[in-house]
Structure 1
Amino acid sequence: MPTAPPDTDTDPASPTDRDLAPLRVTDRALLADVARLARLADGIAAGTVPLGERRALAVGDWVEHVCEAIRHRHEGEEAGLWPVLERHAGRTLDLSGLRDDHVALRGLLGEVRRATRGLVGAVLVRPIAVASAEDFARIRRLARLLGELADLLDEHRRDAERELRGLLPRVPRAEWLRAARDHHAEAPDPAFTAARAHATAAPGELAAVDAALGGRGLAGVLARRALRRRERLVFGD
């Protein structure tokens, strides 16, 4: 995400750093999860991480949630956030490279999902303790795909920040906030998104993240506790 002007005591005309915090933290959480999943798959392929049926199903569920959140993030950029920037950027904005990234990422997300489903299906048929050479080849492929996804996501994030830096001061704050609010409201699993963002946010970002993603109150606490139990099952930490 681009860098925003600092917050001020008066109502700013353009989006502030606090306004961008929910999007920035969501990106950080998604990248962290993909990197963790890649390390997990590496451990499974090396035989140092056990993978029983229960854990395999939990891993499959986590991968689906992360991939769906990434899909939503990028479709939301194209449908809601980028048009706001384009209306106010004049002729200086070229999003073709970032759009190409989205095409590549969509293809890679599909491969990750298919590879994960194949791995989970194989574990349900044959425990990892008696896995075949084909099973381990499947696991190694998933680890490679997740590593590629993490690299491409990080590169895309850095490219977007460089490409869009300096444009937000031209965007009316109210218009940006409406687009961001609509984007957050359409999250495929708001509880998952809010809980993962909350776990990744810095202390100074928590209030903005909770306000935008719905992580406040008892419901948010319970959702985070439930997700933490699933997280321990998936990652073992």
Structure 2
Amino acid sequence: MTTAPTAPTAPATDSVSPGDLAPLRAADRATLADVRRLARLADGIAGGTVPLGERRAWALGDWVERVSEEIRHRHEAEEALLWPVLERHAGRTLDLSGLRDDHVALRGLLGEVRRGTRGAVDAVQLRPIAVASAEDFARLRRLARLLGELADLLDEHRRDAERELDEVLARVPREDWRRATRLLHAGAPDPAFTAARARAAAGPDEVAAVEGALGGRGLTGALARRGLRRRERSVFGS
């Protein structure tokens, strides 16, 4: 007997609102901005216009690891927590195969970025940038290219997800979505890092939603933001 395709449910009367999406979208913007400026930083170091001492090298490596872990967690949580909610309310009309393929490609690229960063940082521990070898500069140029590719793929994935999922989100009851996103935020590998950066990237109409979702224990407060700025200066300068 052939089973008829599951029909999508009707739009929920209390469906997901822009405010419910604001914390994830602000975090997305913060991550993308970070990867782009990391690419510019690596390019500047490779071009000899940005100095790289041991302290900055360590801070750079730490920042790349934190951003990479954030991306990894986000994509794993999408697949485990968010997408099942969407599938439950969209029926068989939702095709996530393209977004899953993006995740596979991004995982591979993240691995290359992390290995490339560790290689660049380790080299600086051995040889100051002032006496760096041609191989050291080639390694930095490759890192800049990988970071640029990562930023482009993240941006493409974000736009694809928004285009493909917006209609489905109108069918998802708000409480189902909020329950799933609470679990996602609770599992963040570095909640303070994620929260302060999302707060900085939030638009005026998003701040309250971002603080409500991510601001527990003062994670988006002024003290957290000052701590974030100190760490930013160690990586990116003033």
Which band: TM-score by shorter chain?
A: over 0.9
Q: Is the 8 A contact 1:195 1:215 kept in 2?
A: no
- 2:83 match: 82
- Structure 1 CA distance, aligned partners of 2:195 and 2:206? 13
- 2:210 match: 209
- Structure 2 CA distance, aligned partners of 1:17 and 1:165? 10
- 2:140 match: 139
- 2:98 match: 97
- 1:6 match: none
What TM-score results when the alignment is normalised by the length of structure 2?
A: 0.92
- Structure 2 CA distance, aligned partners of 1:41 and 1:221? 29
- 2:151 match: 150
- 2:23 match: 22
- 2:228 match: 227
- Structure 2 CA distance, aligned partners of 1:145 and 1:59? 15
- Structure 1 CA distance, aligned partners of 2:18 and 2:229? 28
- 1:3 match: none
Q: Is the 8 A contact 1:210 1:216 kept in 2?
A: no
Residue 194 of structure 2 aligns with an amino acid whose one-letter code is T
State the 1:227 CA deviation: 1.2
Identity of aligned residues (%): 79
- Structure 1 CA distance, aligned partners of 2:78 and 2:189? 15
Aligned length: 227
Deviation string 1:43-82 (CA, Å, 9 cap, x unpaired) is 0011000000000000000000000000011111000000
- Structure 1 CA distance, aligned partners of 2:192 and 2:221? 7
- Structure 2 CA distance, aligned partners of 1:164 and 1:106? 21
- Structure 1 CA distance, aligned partners of 2:125 and 2:145? 22
- 1:188 match: 189
Deviation string 1:86-135 (CA, Å, 9 cap, x unpaired) is 00101210000000000000010010000000100000110001000000
Residue 202 of structure 1 aligns with an amino acid whose one-letter code is G
Q: Is the 8 A contact 2:198 2:210 kept in 1?
A: yes
Summarize the Cα distance change of 1:219–1:175 in structure 2 as closer, same or farther, 3 Å threshold.
Answer: closer
State the 1:165 CA deviation: 2.1
Aligned CA-pair RMSD: 1.5
- 1:50 match: 51
Residue 46 of structure 1 aligns with an amino acid whose one-letter code is G
Summarize the Cα distance change of 1:134–1:50 in structure 2 as closer, same or farther, 3 Å threshold.
Answer: same
What TM-score results when the alignment is normalised by the length of structure 1?
A: 0.93
Q: Is the 8 A contact 2:218 2:224 kept in 1?
A: no
Q: Is the 8 A contact 2:211 2:220 kept in 1?
A: no
- Structure 1 CA distance, aligned partners of 2:165 and 2:17? 14
Q: Is the 8 A contact 2:214 2:220 kept in 1?
A: no
Q: Is the 8 A contact 1:215 1:221 kept in 2?
A: no
Residue 74 of structure 1 aligns with an amino acid whose one-letter code is H
Residue 200 of structure 1 aligns with an amino acid whose one-letter code is A
- Structure 2 CA distance, aligned partners of 1:57 and 1:124? 9
Gaps of 5+ in 2: 1-12
Q: Is the 8 A contact 1:191 1:220 kept in 2?
A: no
